[in-house]
Amino acid sequence: MAASKQKKNIEYRLLIEHTYDDTLKKEGIMFLLETTKQFTNFSYQIDVKDVLKGNVMHWELHGLRAPSMNMPGTGTAQFTTVYFDIPKTFTFILTKTEKIQAETEIKISRSAIHVSDGQINFLKIYTDRQEFEKNRFSDAEPPEYKPNVHRAPVEPVQPTKKKKT
């Protein structure tokens, strides 16, 4: 029962992995944040204000944005960024709009990325793309059940007649 309770609390998934930018010819760390909720009309983008000061990386979530293109898409809402020259050990803080936080310590070495907690509050963190992809559907929030309810037509209200006095 506790495992299913934890699963319900996951709202966001974060993948952290090494990457290489061919244009800049530089190694960096890629962060991919996505919602567990699947969207059917648009593939939204997560609006994130990210700040890296010293050994603290703070992301503040500001909601979702519709994509700039007119093509509809389905899937999770995502935010991706790459950091170059970040500290080898830092604190990562993700804050939702309700001021609820998920905080963990991240250590980066040349060969691996270590996270002190894999799941904090509403956030689940992965450092392996295969695990991230494999668990996408098990982490996903089940679609909301919407019963097929049809409303009866609204009957027009007859104005009341005033009595003559």
Residue 3's pLDDT band, with cuts at 50, 70 and 90, is very low
Q: Is residue 145 part of a domain?
A: no
Torsion of CA 24, 28, 34, 40, to 10 degrees: 20
Q: Give every CB contact of residue 34 below 8 A, 6+ residues apart in sequence.
A: 12, 13, 14, 15, 46, 76, 77, 78, 79
The encoded tokens of residue 70 equal 């007119």
pTM of the model: 0.78
Asked if the structure places residue 158 within a domain, the reply is no
Asked if residue 148 is part of any domain, the answer here is no
Phi/psi of residue 53, each to 5°? -125, 115
Condensed to tens digits (0 to 9), the pLDDT of residues 116-126 reads: 988 888 999 99
Specify if 162 maps to a domain. no
Question: What is the pLDDT averaged over residues 41-48?
Answer: 84
- The number of domains in the chain is 1
With a pLDDT cut of 90, the percent of the chain lying above it is: 53
Q: What is the pLDDT of residues 54-95, one digit of tens each?
A: 999 999 999 888 877 666 677 888 999 999 989 999 999 999
Q: Is 61 part of a structural domain of the chain?
A: yes
Q: Give the domain extent around 17.
A: 2-139
Whether 156 is covered by a domain: the verdict is: no
Q: What is the pLDDT of residue 46?
A: 92
